[in-house]
Amino acid sequence: MKRRDFLRYTAPATILPSFINGFSIKAFAASPFLAALEKTALDNDHVLVMIQLNGGNDGLNMVIPLDQYGKYSTARSNIAIPEGSVLRLAGQTKTGIHPSMTGIRDLYNEGHVSIIQSVGYPSPNFSHFRATDIWLTGSDANVVLETGWGGRFLDTEYPGYPTGFPNAEMPDPPAIQIGSIVSPSFVGQGGNFGMAVTSPTDFYNLLENIEETVPNTRAGKELKYIRQIQRQTNRYADVIKAAASKVTNQRTYPDNHLAAQLKIVARLVAGGLKTRLYMVGIGGFDTHASQTNSGDTTTGTHAHLLDMVSSSIHAFMKDLEQQKKSQRVVGMTFSEFGRRIKSNGSMGTDHGNSAPMIVFGDYVNQQILGNNPTMPDAASPVDNVPMQYDFRSVYASLLEQWFCVPSSELNKIMLNNYQSLPLVNGLACSVVTGIPGVGDDETLITNYPNPFSTKTILSYKTRGGHTLIQVFDTMGRLIAKPVDRQHAAGTYTHTFDGEQLPSGMYYVRFQNGAAQQVRTMMKVR
């Protein structure tokens, strides 16, 4: 490979040093989030922190359906959390969380957490790699994108990058990833726009201006050349170093890998870095076996992971409060998929459809958004948690309500029109973002007859505007889209022809604005 090609395709993504506490850091050039920020929200200093739960998190043991506890415990008798051990949340009687998540409980009770039920996408892919790619690019399940959403933006908005950056308007890296590999979100047509950091010890060398010696060999000369290029390409080193150096007094964090990453983020935010997006991660959520301990299902692998997530987020937010910077930050958790409703014989759970997301921050609305997942009386090994919310709706809502992106820009950034969810207080952008919700007793969609043999009539009530009805099977595959149109407010019917469907249970999902509802319907011969 020619040196020019090496620099174009490899150097920005792989050879920059790590800076902070021995962690690999990736300073990304831009993203669609940041594209909108630079155009429409330069007067705010809002930050989004994304926490990736690698492996596929078991949402049913994280957010527990107390109002369906009998069905829940029957479906997973060998790993179910005892009802008396479930942590209760302020104002919630139907839903609780895993007993190891005291930090999230406390933040929720303080009014700073939204739990979004059953987040996924139609026709989910259960491959870790492909599912992660979908979440990071925002693609449909049947679309493979060669570029990431950040890279696509860079191709159109910043031709010729990195020439001209950093500059006076944006002297800092717009996005930073700590740990893991370079995200596919930042791949463009011309190569990888991401600037990556790989060495685990260079932070302290950076602070002390120490350069490691190289051996007097041919390989040593090549290493010296790479380090020379590294210094030339890493234009953000000084600003990151300066921000980190401003903060020397942080709160005590738990002793775990995720907490150490979040401590770095808090240090950079408190140090005044203008970076808008941070990504951190924690692995181990692929719990096919030994998810819980046999003698005490409140303990085990999953409990330990959830404890790390919960305690780390709690310490992070309290650190930011101490630094008087907590109002700058909103955070969210996500995983590439959830797990099945029914546990397996190895005291674990297998790859499944949707799972809850947690959004946290001073401006986040305190709520459990959506209903507890619909569960069958006798779950089979293939039954999945039906999707209530599309994950891209979460992204779009944070763009609109936290980064103050106008609705006219959202379709361009997210490649489609997604549901707006009331996640962030309207004070964040000085607009009203709270949208009337749906009461537990309000029925938005029904079907009759149910069970049905050939056709069933869907009856639905819309407040007006875009109205969507989808039909899924128990594997989460999108079977049909009977309604996808603009409606005037009112009550409507649609005859759904299911004659060609196999017998079994199906989920019909209704969406209108921020409102959604999922119902079960049965096809029989």
Spell out, as residue ranges, where the chain has pLDDT lower than 70: 1-44, 145, 147-166, 169-170, 172, 179-235, 430-441
For residue 148, the model assigns a pLDDT of 59
Does 513 lie in the same domain as 455?
yes
Is residue 437 in some structural domain? no
pLDDT of residue 201: 40
Is 465 within a domain?
yes
In this structure, is residue 14 part of a structural domain?
yes
Residue 499 and residue 396 in one domain: no
Question: Is position 440 within any domain?
Answer: no
> Which of these three, 367, 395, 428, is where a domain ends?
428
The verdict on 226 and 363 lying in the same domain is yes
Specify the CATH number for the domain of residue 475.
Answer: 2.60.40.3080
Across the beta sheet with 95-97, the strand order is 63-65, 95-97, 87-88
What's the confidence (pLDDT) of residue 147? 63
Q: Is residue 191 part of a domain?
A: yes
**Rounded CA separation 467/516 (Å):** 10
Rounded-to-10 torsion of CA 326, 329, 335, 337: 120
Check whether residue 394 and residue 508 sit in a common domain: no
Same domain for 370 and 490, yes or no, is no
Question: Among 195, 173, 185, which residue's Cα sits nearest to residue 275?
Answer: 173
CB 200 within 8 A of CB 23: yes
273 assigned to some structural domain = yes
Residue 435 lies in a domain: no
CA gap 87, 96 in Å, rounded: 5
What pLDDT is stored for residue 139 in this prediction? Answer: 87
Say if 519 falls within a structural domain.
yes
Answer yes or no: do 155 and 14 share one domain: yes
Residue 439 has a pLDDT of: 46
Domain check: are 387 and 491 in the same one? no
454 and 418 fall within a common domain: no
User: What is the number of structural domains in the chain?
Assistant: 2
**What's this model's pTM, rounded to 2 decimal places?**
0.81
Beta carbons of 521 and 510 less than 8 angstroms apart: no
459: closest CA among 517, 389, 402? 517
Question: Is the same domain home to 230 and 92?
Answer: yes
Instruction: State how far the Cα of 252 lies from the Cα of 51, in Å rounded to an integer.
Output: 20
Q: What is the pLDDT of residues 69-94, one digit of tens each?
A: 999 999 999 999 999 999 999 999 99
pLDDT at position 234 is 56
Type and span of the H or E element at 511: strand 504-512
Pair 62, 95 in one domain: yes
Q: Is the dihedral of CA 133, 419, 399, 410 positive or negative?
A: positive
Strand order, beta sheet including 465-473? 478-487, 465-473, 504-512, 515-523
Angle at 178 between CA 256 and CA 43, to 5 degrees: 120
Q: Are residues 404 and 466 located together in one domain of the fold?
A: no
DSSP calls for 184-238: GGGEETTEE-EEEB--SSHHHHHHHT------SSHHHHHHHHHHHHHHHH-TTHH
Identify the domain containing residue 450 by its residue range: 445-523
**355 and 455: one domain?**
no
Rounded Cα distance, 63 and 115, in Å: 9
